[in-house]
Amino acid sequence: MTENDLMLTSILDCRRVDLALNKGYLTSSQKLKCDLMKARRAEGEPLQYILGQCDFMGTALSVDQRALIPRPETEILVDLAIEKIKSMREEKTLNVLDLGVGSGNITIALLKNIVNITITALDISDDALALAKENASANYVEQKIQFSCRDMLAYLKDSAHSGKMFDVIVSNPPYIPAGLIHELPEDVRREPRIALDGGEDGLRFYRTIIEYGWQILDPKGFLIMEIGDGQHDAIESIFARYPRYAVIHFYKDYVGTKRVVIARMDAQWKN
Ligand code: GLN
């Protein structure tokens, strides 16, 4: 669908096929809405913020400037996480930790696809958490989520000290090197910097998550993260500092870039 069609289906609250039937007829208020949307877009705002919605794993999620817009590549992480969690065949309810929940896309998709899990959904941004809560309640999964507005490092340290354990950790952390943010397309730069900025080399959050991950993961559990372009070698070297990780495996995205990493402590694991 073209951006214009997406704006029209949103304004008319109809499907694409219905646009042909409508024959381009808009009331004056619909025309005004359409012009406003086009003006916002021309001014560089991301299309999804203008529409107020985006599709993730077949679910319409509300999106706005409070959080990062879910990307199609992140569906690869979710598909892998679903497959691996289901293959654990546990009878008990599994505890999942989502570090940097953003709009709630990963957490909600996991809960919609797997019955026996509960998720601790962490974000440093109150705004992002408010949006994630709205999305969770619109999808009837909020009772299975414990939301926490915390800095990830502080949370991981506390959990490691208190012996709190998880079966699975998922994360799509900010991973753009700080110095490259100004080179991102105009619309991406409209997304919250806090959701993009991965520190000087983009690896800041991986260092934190990998350092503490093994300390709070069940030995049969796993850590699954989305990674940035070309970061796999550096991330592999970070994992190598912590010998408790026995198996590290990278998975490619639709264009052949290594996009997701899964780490396990259990050397028996075969991907
Ligand atoms: N995938 C986003 C982008 O490249 C970045 C998301 C992130 O930092 N986790 O625009």
Share of the chain above pLDDT 70, in %: 99
Mutate to test the pocket of ligand 1, among 99, 105, 175 (most ligand atoms within 8 A of CB): 175
Q: Whose structure tokens read 């070698």?
A: 233
Atom of ligand 1 nearest to the CA of 100: 9
The tokens describing 181, both together, are 């943010």
Report d(CA 70, CA 102) in Å as an integer.
9
Nearest ligand 1 atom to the CA of 173 is 9
Domains contained in the chain, CATH given: 3-43 (no CATH), 66-265 (3.40.50.150)
Residue 122, SS3? strand
For the ranges 19-23, 68-72, 74-78, the lowest mean pLDDT is seen at 19-23
pLDDT exceeds cutoff 90 at 269: no
* The ligand 1 atom nearest the CA atom of 198: 8
Q: Which residues pair with 166 in a beta bridge?
A: 217
Ranges of H-type helices in the chain: 3-12, 16-22, 28-42, 47-51, 74-87, 105-113, 126-138, 152-162, 186-189, 204-216, 232-240
Better-predicted residue by pLDDT, 267 or 67: 67
Residue 71 beta carbon below 6 angstroms from any ligand 1 atom: yes
28 CA distance to ligand 1 centroid (A)? 38
Q: Is the dihedral of CA 16, 21, 25, 29 positive or negative?
A: negative
Task: Dump pLDDT digits (tens) for 248-265.
Answer: 999 999 999 999 999 998
* Ligand 1 in reach of 176 Cβ (< 6 A): yes
**Residue 68 CA: which ligand 1 atom is closest?**
6
Residue 122's beta-bridge partner residues? 99, 148
Q: Is 40 exposed, middle or buried (0-12, 13-18, 19+ CB in 10 A)?
A: middle
Single-letter amino acid, residue 27 = T
pLDDT category of residue 183 using cuts at 50, 70 and 90 = very high
